[in-house]
Chain A
């Protein structure tokens, strides 16, 4: 099931999109940019890349392919494989765009012990919740608009936490309790989203 999903979707297209967005940012701001703006821009770019990448997962699939999956595997395995695939895609995309962003815009002095785990957890959470939203949106009529409307409130809590965590990781000395607090909040949202997706997806899948 996982292997089946390894079609070369438009990874290259999304990557090009990210790079060109970052380039535009660089053209607008120059290299001088303060740390808060860095964080905000980075997460906004990544958010839109995620919307583009993940919305492909259900919205662009035809009814025939859905029937094919349906005959092949159970609903839980379909949604789990979709989430895993999208999470991997988001991580690769996120790391590449982080590299490009650092290349163009410079790197604030993050403490990596907090920023990297938060970054990875955030990628998983965003991709899992967007997978679920795209599954909901794909079953209705106008799914492109609905994807944005439904996705925005779902992603905002994660994004708020991520921006907060990034800001905390800018401080020179970080209290361990703060690290644990923000990471556990992210982890909690991730698990809640994945568990809900696994429980609720079979209801969406049936026709």
Chain B
């Protein structure tokens, strides 16, 4: 038996349920968005998962700096890489959605630019890690930078889009908020989807961290 099997299976079941139910349920007909509102079940969950992964890595970076235990560094870096994966998936789903809703893959929008630049900040984290050879110094410096990068993420996705006057992105800048437009049917899919993807993200993180530790032991 795999340890902690129940939450992994719950995560998988919730994700499968949300993928299937997300296509089948009836959605409210909103102007402009129409049927593409179904993307909410996939796109928004990707960003939730990314945010949680980067938050996890922030916690582990702080723990590394206060204790200097190598396994905390492994967790911090692996959750950044995992978060990058979900972020890229979020960008991709968002871009496909934008092509059908706004007619273009990319628009000059505060929300989109913030997402792109914060992804760049975390890609820079990967570059920084690979450019330092000595192990403990690499762990320390990348932990310091990681705390910086999380601050940037909060500024970009939390503060700047709210300061900007206008944004095309649903739910931002005086645009019709999707959250208010959600009816009970959509909520029944959206919340399980978010929880399911989070569980799956943590599962992936656990596997990656174990793999890294095995490689280090060899």
Contacts and interface: CB of A to CB of B under 8 A. Distances in A.
Given A146-B127, A149-B127, A203-B65, A139 B137 contact: yes
- Interface magnitude class on chain B: 20 to 34
B9 interface: no
Q: Which of A152, A156, A181 has the most CB of B within 10 A?
A: A156
Given A141-B131, A203-B65, A153 B160 contact: no
Nearest to B142: A136
Interface residues of A, number: 27
B143 A141 contact: no
Contacts of B121: 153-154
B144 interface: yes
Interface stretch (B46-54, B73-81, B146-154): B146-154
Contacts of B140: 203-204, 206
B159 interface: yes
- By secondary structure, the B interface counts as helix
Contacts of A192: 151
Contact of A139 (B132, B163, B164): B132
Give 10 closest A-B pairs by Cβ, nearest first.
A153-B121, A140-B132, A200-B144, A140-B131, A149-B124, A157-B155, A153-B120, A141-B131, A150-B124, A156-B117
Interface of A: 132, 136, 139-142, 146, 149-150, 152-154, 156-157, 160-161, 164, 181-182, 185, 189, 192, 196, 200, 203-204, 206
7 contacts: A132-B148, A146-B131, A161-B163, A164-B163, A185-B163, A200-B147, A200-B148
Given A153-B149, A185-B159, 13 more contacts: A132-B148, A136-B144, A149-B124, A149-B127, A150-B124, A150-B145, A152-B124, A154-B121, A157-B155, A157-B156, A181-B163, A196-B148, A206-B140
